Amino acid sequence: MTTSKIAAVVLAAGKGTRMKSNLPKVLMPICGQPMIKHILQTLDHMNTDKIIVVTAPDGEIVRQEVLPHQSVIQKQQLGTGNAVLAAKEALEGFDGDVLTIFGDHPIITKETFLKAVQKRREGYAIVVLGFRPEDTARYGRLIVKDGELQKIVEYKDATEDEKAVDLCNSGVMCFNGKIMFDILNEINNDNAAHEYYLTDAITIARAHGLKCSIVECSAEEVAGANTQEELALLESYLKKREGK
């Protein structure tokens, strides 16, 4: 039996240090409201069944801002895979599609999220949102063969052939919620940063004989914000889209 339930895990534990602000990054304003609010509104418009916001231990201001949505705490900053695992208890027994979204990617549309969900329902364990930026240098690459995602490789780890690939990882994923945490539990921190990377989920899923795929969207839509300049750029994209 197919299910139509959708949940979302929004990662919002990051600091706003590069913004030169005391505010947590996800509370930096775009078009007059905190950027995380744009994501939550989009998810609400999709009638998302469950939204979990992952926050830092000192993120009380974020937890208040996202109410009435549920928050959980990532006790230590041990990477993106560890951040999503913080939502495990809150999603116990959830049988549906789970979107994992970075809280500083505020202008992804409902249509794009639903495209990823739809693709996931074609029989994939994980679907990753990809894009083709003008400058690919710093992004992880999506290595696709015959329509299936083989792996995500970070730029610094990529071979010359892989660096020539212009399809990049946005960080947004859609998981089969039934097996998502089984996959995430297998991610290890055997890397230079000793962090648990969400991107390793692809390799693990495929090792279990599961299929992964991608959905493409525009580079503008998945733009994030790490600086005040990037924040201003996001605002200009959003205004252009809304015809302002």
| Three-state DSSP state, 130 | strand
Regions of the chain where pLDDT drops below 70: 1-3, 16-18, 20, 244
- State residue 145 phi and psi, 5-degree precision: -140, 125
Q: Quote the pLDDT of residue 1.
A: 35
Q: Is 201 exposed, middle or buried (0-12, 13-18, 19+ CB in 10 A)?
A: buried
Q: Is the dihedral of CA 228, 230, 232, 238 positive or negative?
A: negative
Please enumerate, as own/partner, the contacts of 200-207 that have beta carbons within 8 Å and a separation of 24 or more: 200/81, 201/81, 201/126, 201/173, 201/175, 202/126, 202/128, 202/149, 202/150, 202/151, 202/152, 203/151, 205/125, 205/126, 206/150, 206/151
Instruction: Give pLDDT, residue 188.
Output: 94
Distance CA 39, CA 96 (A): 20
Please tell me the predicted confidence (pLDDT) of residue 222. 93
- Do the beta carbons of residue 183 and residue 81 sit within 8 Å? no
Q: Is 226 helix (H, G, I), strand (E, B) or coil?
A: coil
Can you give the pLDDT at residue 16? 65
Structural Rg of the chain based on CA atoms:
17
| Partners of residue 143 on adjacent β-strands | 151
pLDDT at 23: 86
Tokens of 96: 């549906």
**C-alpha separations of 99 from 33, 68, 73, 180 in Å:** 23, 19, 18, 11
Residue 134 and residue 106 in contact, taking contact as beta carbons nearer than 8 Å: no
Helix 35-45 × helix 110-120 angle, to 10°: 60
Residue 3 has a pLDDT of 53
Q: Show me where the domains of the chain are located.
A: 6-222
Contact 3, 94 (CB under 8 A): no
> Which pLDDT does position 18 carry in this prediction?
65
Token code pair at residue 233: 């750029």
Domain spanning 6-222: CATH 3.90.550.10: yes
Whole-number Å distance between alpha carbons of 105 and 26: 9
- Return d(Cα 128, Cα 60) in angstroms, integer: 30
This prediction's pTM: 0.94
pLDDT of res. 156:
85
In this prediction, residue 127 carries a pLDDT of 98
